[in-house]
Structure formats: structure tokens, C-alpha cells
Amino acid sequence: MSKSDWKSIFELIKPQFEGQFEFDAPLSKVTYYRIGGPATVLATPKSRKDLELLSSAIARTRVNFFVLGWGSNLLFADAGFNGVVIRIKNLFTEIEELPGSILRVGAGVGASTLLRRAQEKGYGNLSCLTGIPGSVGGMVAMNAGTHLGDMRSLVTKVESVRLGESESDLPVSTYIPDETSFSYRKNHFLGPHDLVTHVELRYHPEDPTKVKSEIDDLYQRRKLTQPVDYPSCGSVFMNPKGRSGEEGAGLNAWQVIDQLGLRGHRIGNAQISEKHSNFIVNLGEAKAADVIALIDLAKKRALSELGIELHEEVRMIE
Ligand SMILES: Cc1cc2nc3c(=O)[nH]c(=O)nc-3n(C[C@H](O)[C@H](O)[C@H](O)COP(=O)(O)OP(=O)(O)OC[C@H]3O[C@@H](n4cnc5c(N)ncnc54)[C@H](O)[C@@H]3O)c2cc1C
């Protein structure tokens, strides 16, 4: 189907859409990196009906689509995205306590909102998510975490819908993770058409004052060690593999980049951060091509000079 044909089908659903719906919308406005050309369609659904409309149009047109959370781990190409970007921001935003120290959390809830709730109510172990700027859906997809733990240690159930499978139906799935469901910064159960809607997390009840001070300390530490004043995607590379064969179990990626003398190296308006060398920051109007050139340089030199393979944690989308 030609681009103008599939666009005309999406033009038909625009008047029925309750959320935001834009054509040729710059992705730099919806990513932490402030980088990325236009998406042919950028839809921010507000209701389940909006999602059904999108899913049905995708099934009809077979157009390429991408599920966007809060855009904190993404580098979209300068040419943008030829397809439909579905942004989960104003949907699935509830947090509900269930019996047995379980929380049911919507995929659109931000980590900062969840952590504020953890401080008020005393959800001890959730502090391992402190400083991660993503949505709960994105954190499940990425198995996000810190040195204190990751999503795999919290998630007991994942609910999702499958987009674009049927013109009349939005199939729902439930997944109960086991030890094979996640690895370092990866999940192994979501298919390319799955959109996470809700997640159940197990929390450890603790004194809220203690949880509050732990989270506040962790935030302070982040501010001191990370370049929070510039747009970035967080860590660009996963920590290289250790003896166990799992990424994140050996050297730190920042140590590799420091050994190569690349701290502070700049291409265009992208720079390997002076403050934390596993961050590439956007100094202002940086292009995706600048960031990619720095990534390629670090990868090539790590392999040729140190025999170390670096793998991207950032997801690069064309
Ligand atoms: C300053 C900074 C610090 C960071 N620190 C950390 C850190 O300490 N630890 C860490 O792990 N990460 C860190 N990150 C990276 C990032 O915050 C995490 O990867 C986070 O989980 C991404 O969530 P998101 O909602 O922004 O997802 P996005 O960046 O929007 O998307 C990431 C992936 O998740 C998928 N996705 C998003 N939502 C859904 C959904 N509802 N259903 C299905 N798939 C979905 C997307 O398709 C994409 O493949 C940092 C980033 C920044 C900018």
C-alpha cells in the first residue's frame, strides 16, 4: 500500500480519536534526547477506544508502527519514522494496591510517580528504580534497573494487548514471568506487536520515612554522578559481558571508554559526557548522525584496541 493510501486511512480515524493525533510530528519533541525527525503519524491515545481504532487501522494497512513510552532510551533517525508512533503517556496511569503486597500499575505511569507513591506508602524495594526516567511499560520492555536491582526482581505479571492483529478485536494477553523472561536490559517475552498495558509488582512494606530518605539519597547521588543538565538517553552501552556470559557482569562500559581516552570527545553537537563517559549528551541541536558516529567510534576502537565488544543499550530506530 502506498504511503498516501495508508495515510488516508489514518486521516479517517483522526476525527474519532480522543487523544492527540498528528501527522509529520517531530520526534525530537517526545524523546529525552531531543533528537529525531518526523513520524508520519504520532498518536497519543487517551482511551482504549483510541487504541482499538489504531490497531484496526494498522491491521488494515499493515503499516510499520512503534510503541513509544517516555522516550528515554531511544534514538530516532534524523529522517524520522515512516509509520505510526503510538505514545503511551496519558493512558494506563493508575496505581492500585492488591492483596499480598502487590501493586497493579498502568504502563503509562512514570517511575517518578511510582517512587513518590513508594515514599508515601513505604514500598521498600521499589527504590531500585530511583533515577530512571521511563514509564512502567518501557521499564518492563527494557528490564530497567540499577545496581540495587531491576524490573525482573519486581514483576509478577504483565498484561498486554496485541496491536494490528485483527481489524475488529484487540486481543489481550497475560504473562507470568519466570527466570528466563528477562536478562540484562532485555525482556524475552514481548513480541513486536505487544503493547504492555499493566504490570503487577511485588513490594516489601517498610517504614515510609526510611524509604523516603533512601530514595532522596539515591537521587542526590545521581545528580552528582550523571550529566542531568543535558538531554541524553542514559547509558549508551550495556556493560560488557563478564565471566558468567551475561552483559553487566564484567567491566563497566564507562571504564572501557575512559581507557580509550574518549571522555569529552565531541562530534557535531554530540559529546561523550565529561561527567560520565557512558553518556553521550546533546549539547544543543545534535543530530542522530552525530550520536551514531560517536557510538561507532567507541565500538570500533574498543574492539581493535582492547578486544572488547560494546553493545548498545540505547535503542536506535529508523
Ligand atoms: C538520564 C537518564 C538516566 C537513565 N538511567 C537509567 C538507569 O539507571 N537504568 C536503566 O535501566 N535505564 C536508564 N535509563 C534509560 C531509560 O530510562 C530506561 O530504559 C526506561 O526503561 C525507558 O522507558 P521509556 O518509557 O522511556 O521507554 P522508551 O524509551 O519510550 O522505549 C524503550 C523501549 O520500550 C518499549 N516500550 C515502551 N513502552 C512500552 C509499552 N507500553 N509496551 C511495550 N513496549 C514498550 C519501546 O518500544 C522501546 O523498545 C536512563 C535514561 C536517561 C535519559
| CB of residue 71 inside a 6 A radius of ligand 1 | yes
Q: Is the pLDDT at 256 greater than 60, yes or no? A: yes
Distance 72 CA to ligand 1 centre (A): 5
**pLDDT confidence bin for 251, thresholds 50/70/90:** confident
**pLDDT confidence bin for 249, thresholds 50/70/90:** low
CA of 179: how far to CAs of 77, 156, 187, 246, 252, in Å?
A: 34, 11, 11, 14, 24
Handedness of CA 171, 182, 149, 144 (dihedral sign): negative
Active site (annotated) includes residue 274: no
Distance 47 CA to ligand 1 centre (A): 22
Nine cell digits for residue 123:
514500598
- Per annotation, catalytic residue among 34, 117, 185, 301: 185
Distance 186 CA to ligand 1 centre (A): 11
Q: Is the pLDDT at 75 greater than 80, yes or no? A: yes
Nine cell digits for residue 103:
501493586
Alpha-carbon distance of 229 to 273, in angstroms, equals 11
Give the closest residue to 295 by CA, choosing from 275, 283, 313: 313
Average pLDDT of span 83-107? 97
Which tens digit of pLDDT belongs to each residue from 171-227?
999 999 999 999 999 999 999 999 999 999 999 999 999 999 999 999 999 999 999
Ranking 108-117, 161-170, 178-187, 240-249 by mean pLDDT, the lowest is 240-249
Give the closest residue to 39 by CA, choosing from 82, 88, 99, 95: 82
Alpha-carbon distance of 11 to 5, in angstroms, equals 10
Among 72, 147, 198, residue to substitute to test ligand 1 (most atoms within 8 Å of Cβ) = 72
pLDDT more than 70, % of the chain: 97
Please state which CATH class domain 95-223 belongs to: alpha beta
Average pLDDT of span 229-255? 83
- The residues, ordered by sequence, that sit 6+ positions from 315 with a Cβ below 8 Å of its Cβ are 73, 74, 75
- The dihedrals phi and psi of 201, each to the nearest 5 degrees, come to -125, 140
User: Which residues lie across from 103 on neighbouring strands?
Assistant: 97, 201
Q: Residue 250: what pLDDT?
A: 74
Q: Is the pLDDT at 241 greater than 90, yes or no? A: no
Average pLDDT of span 98-116? 97
| CB of residue 74 inside a 6 A radius of ligand 1 | yes
Q: Is the pLDDT at 271 greater than 60, yes or no? A: yes
Active site (annotated) includes residue 313: yes
Average pLDDT of span 51-55? 96
Averaged confidence pLDDT in the chain: 95
Q: Is the pLDDT at 247 greater than 70, yes or no? A: no
| CB of residue 146 inside a 6 A radius of ligand 1 | yes
Q: Is the pLDDT at 231 greater than 70, yes or no? A: yes
Q: Residue 18: what pLDDT?
A: 97
Average pLDDT of span 6-25? 96
Nine cell digits for residue 272:
561523550
Query: What letter represents residue 316's amino acid?
Result: M
Ramachandran class of 95: left when φ > 0, alpha when ψ lies in -120 to 50, beta otherwise: beta
Q: Is the pLDDT at 123 greater than 60, yes or no? A: yes
Q: Residue 174: what pLDDT?
A: 97
Nine cell digits for residue 293:
558516529
Q: Are 299 and 313 in contact (CB under 8 A)?
A: no
Q: Residue 243: what pLDDT?
A: 57
CATH number of 3-87: 3.30.43.10
Distance 233 CA to ligand 1 centre (A): 8
Active site (annotated) includes residue 301: no
Nearest CA to ligand 1 atom 2: 234
Q: Are 233 and 140 in contact (CB under 8 A)?
A: no
Using DSSP's 3-state secondary structure scheme, residue 215 falls into helix
pTM to 2 decimal places: 0.95
Query: What letter represents residue 63's amino acid?
Result: V
Nine cell digits for residue 114:
511510582
**Cα-only R_g, the chain:** 20
**pLDDT confidence bin for 302, thresholds 50/70/90:** very high
Alpha-carbon distance of 16 to 21, in angstroms, equals 10
CATH number of 227-313: 3.90.78.10
Write down the domain spans for the chain: 3-87, 95-223, 227-313
